């Protein structure tokens, strides 16, 4: 049987990981069908485009790799083969120029995902990709074929190898709902529970703060937790706090809340002022002015910043210049719960790395590969998420194509060890 007569490699999930897996498998000469539950591919990629599509990061590779924390060793081979540099080169070849922003983050010149996705899909179709949208994977039939729910009823598809690139569980309305976890667990695959990553947190605001300040930005603010400090932006929400600086600390905050029931985040509400400057300003005589007007006039502590001080501090601290200055520079805020994974930017947890071999094939289910956010890693925002999805997608696509080709040659008489033509 030649390659064209055998069943295709079926990739399930047309996000960045699945699309890159398709590209790699097609490049190796394998026929590929890419299935997705949604009516069109790449919905989360398109959403990421609304924020400018932060593709990757330009920092030195060692620092880049360290962003994946204790999963850095597991991801290193894939990111070494296809990391930030290769990703930018790939985008350029696709006709999408990229640039490095002032933060070192890398974006497409047009700051959108749609042109990249459109051009990429066109190129994949020219390379022979078959797309099957509105195909929701349901698991396996007894004969090993893949079960899909489609608008025309359930269908069974045979695959020479299968790549799962089903994403995590954030923003389920875009297609990735984590429904795969139970299907793999039934087959004995160890999956770390999916948990919110790059997420907001609940604080439990007073009614006054919630009503008057939800949506208000804290900018700039420096947040600290467990020895890490991040200067950036945060936003007051109905129930707590979200935003880039919060997301950057979300993994240790989430884990601390899981372990202790709450976590204390420290806020520097005046990162550009020294504590001494604040203390001198706040110690100026207040005269007949109200405390609010004194905070505003002496140290420009107004709006949501002043409201937070009233929310957290007791009157004795508010009335003492030295203690107040110290609190503005180091305000403790108790976080009581992460927001649900459905609202998060990404998911932590997934298929454990000891379940897959170096080609991302499940050791217990030969011929089944996994890539992207459904593997057990997490990373902050900054382009690290997409880069690892592309890198693992590419490795799984290559791995599946090699596996199919090896299986085919070992079933060809004469190619089996000990047999002659």
- The answer to whether 68 and 123 are in contact (CB under 8 A) is no
Look at residue 372 and give its three-state secondary structure: helix
All residues at 6 or more sequence positions from 348 whose CB lies less than 8 Å from its CB, including other chains:
192, 194, 195, 196, 197, 251, 254, 376, 377, 378
Nearer to ligand FAD, 18 or 31 (CB): 18
- When asked if residue 108 is in the footprint of ligand FAD (CB under 6 A), the reply is no
Say how far apart CA 80 and CA 214 lie, in whole Å. 43
- When asked if residue 47 is in the footprint of ligand FAD (CB under 6 A), the reply is yes
Q: Least distance to ligand FAD from the beta carbon of 108, Å?
A: 10
Please give the biggest Cα pair distance in the chain.
103
Say how far apart CA 24 and CA 27 lie, in whole Å. 5
How many residues would you count in the chain? 421
- When asked if residue 48 is in the footprint of ligand FAD (CB under 6 A), the reply is yes
Look at residue 162 and give its three-state secondary structure: strand
Tokens of 109: 């010149």
Look at residue 13 and give its three-state secondary structure: coil
Site for ligand FAD in 302-361 (CB under 6 A): 345-346
Q: Least distance to ligand FAD from the beta carbon of 280, Å?
A: 42
- When asked if residue 46 is in the footprint of ligand FAD (CB under 6 A), the reply is no
- When asked if residue 200 is in the footprint of ligand FAD (CB under 6 A), the reply is no
Q: CA 328, 334, 335 angle in degrees (round to 5)?
A: 125
Tokens of 45: 């990629």
Say how far apart CA 293 and CA 314 lie, in whole Å. 18
Of 8, 13, 84, 232, the residue at the interface with ligand FAD (CB under 6 A) is 13
Nearer to ligand FAD, 38 or 335 (CB): 38
Say how far apart CA 164 and CA 342 lie, in whole Å. 20
Helices in 82-113 by DSSP H: which ranges? 84-94
CA atoms within 13 A on the CB side of 92: 9
Q: Applying CB under 6 A, which part among 6-14, 86-94, 290-298, 406-414 lies near ligand FAD?
A: 6-14
- When asked if residue 170 is in the footprint of ligand FAD (CB under 6 A), the reply is yes
Q: Least distance to ligand FAD from the beta carbon of 413, Å?
A: 37
Kindly state the helix (H) or strand (E) to which residue 223 belongs, with its residue range: strand 217-225
- The answer to whether 348 and 194 are in contact (CB under 8 A) is yes
Nearer to ligand FAD, 59 or 373 (CB): 373
Site string for ligand FAD, 371-400 (x = CB under 6 A): -xx---------x-xx--x-----------
- When asked if residue 71 is in the footprint of ligand FAD (CB under 6 A), the reply is no
Site string for ligand FAD, 127-156 (x = CB under 6 A): ---------xx-------------------
Q: Applying CB under 6 A, which part among 31-39, 123-131, 302-310, 319-327 lies near ligand FAD?
A: 31-39
Say how far apart CA 316 and CA 255 lie, in whole Å. 33
Nearer to ligand FAD, 36 or 242 (CB): 36
Q: Least distance to ligand FAD from the beta carbon of 221, Å?
A: 21
Nearer to ligand FAD, 38 or 356 (CB): 38
Distances (CA, A) of 151 to 10, 155, 317: 19, 10, 64
Tokens of 420: 């002659």
Of 78, 90, 171, 377, the residue at the interface with ligand FAD (CB under 6 A) is 171
Q: Least distance to ligand FAD from the beta carbon of 57, Å?
A: 9
- The answer to whether 98 and 91 are in contact (CB under 8 A) is yes
Q: Least distance to ligand FAD from the beta carbon of 146, Å?
A: 10
Q: Applying CB under 6 A, which part among 32-40, 66-74, 252-260, 261-269 lies near ligand FAD?
A: 32-40
- When asked if residue 16 is in the footprint of ligand FAD (CB under 6 A), the reply is yes
Nearer to ligand FAD, 51 or 332 (CB): 51
Kindly state the helix (H) or strand (E) to which residue 394 belongs, with its residue range: helix 384-410
Q: Least distance to ligand FAD from the beta carbon of 33, Å?
A: 12
Q: Which residues in this chain contact ligand FAD in the complex, by CB under 6 A?
A: 12-18, 35-38, 43-45, 47-48, 51, 53-54, 136-137, 165-167, 170-171, 175-176, 179, 345-346, 372-373, 383, 385-386, 389
């Amino acid at each position: 049987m030649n390659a064209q007569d055998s069943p295709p490699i079926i990739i399930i999930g047309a996000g960045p990981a699945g699309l890159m897996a398709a590209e790699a498998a097609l490049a190796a000469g394998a026929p590929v069908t890419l299935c997705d539950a949604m009516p069109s591919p790449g919905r989360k990629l398109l959403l990421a485009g609304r924020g400018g599509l932060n593709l990757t990061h330009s920092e030195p590779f060692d620092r880049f790799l360290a962003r994946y924390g204790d999963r850095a060793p597991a991801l290193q081979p894939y990111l070494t083969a296809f990391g930030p540099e290769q990703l930018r080169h790939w985008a350029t070849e696709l006709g999408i120029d990229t640039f490095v922003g002032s933060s070192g983050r890398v974006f497409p010149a047009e700051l959108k995902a749609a042109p990249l996705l459109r051009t990429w899909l066109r190129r994949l179709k020219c390379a022979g990709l078959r797309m099957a949208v509105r195909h929701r994977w349901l698991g396996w039939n007894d004969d090993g074929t893949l079960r899909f729910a489609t608008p025309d009823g359930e269908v069974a598809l045979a695959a020479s190898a299968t790549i799962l690139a089903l994403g995590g569980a954030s923003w389920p309305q875009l297609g990735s709902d984590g429904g795969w976890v139970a299907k793999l667990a039934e087959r004995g695959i160890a999956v770390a529970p999916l948990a919110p990553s790059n997420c907001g947190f609940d604080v439990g605001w007073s009614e006054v703060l919630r009503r008057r300040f939800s949506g208000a930005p804290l900018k700039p603010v420096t947040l600290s937790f467990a020895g890490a400090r991040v200067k950036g932006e945060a936003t007051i929400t109905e129930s707590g706090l979200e935003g880039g600086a919060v997301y950057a600390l979300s993994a240790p905050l989430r884990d601390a809340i899981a372990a202790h029931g709450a976590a204390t985040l420290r806020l520097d509400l005046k990162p550009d002022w020294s504590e001494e400057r604040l203390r001198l300003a706040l110690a100026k005589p207040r005269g007949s002015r109200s405390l609010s007007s004194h905070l505003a006039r002496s140290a420009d502590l107004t709006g949501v910043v002043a409201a937070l001080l009233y929310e957290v501090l007791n009157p004795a601290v508010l009335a003492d210049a030295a203690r107040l200055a110290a609190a503005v520079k180091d305000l403790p805020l108790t976080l009581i719960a992460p927001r649900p994974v459905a609202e998060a930017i990404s998911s932590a947890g997934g298929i454990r790395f000891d379940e897959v071999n170096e080609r991302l094939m499940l050791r217990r289910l030969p011929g089944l590969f996994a890539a992207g956010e459904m593997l057990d890693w997490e990373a902050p925002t900054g382009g690290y998420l997409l880069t690892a999805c592309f890198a693992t997608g590419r490795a799984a696509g290559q791995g599946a194509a090699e596996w199919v080709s090896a299986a085919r040659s070992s079933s060809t008489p004469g190619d089996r060890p000990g047999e002659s033509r």
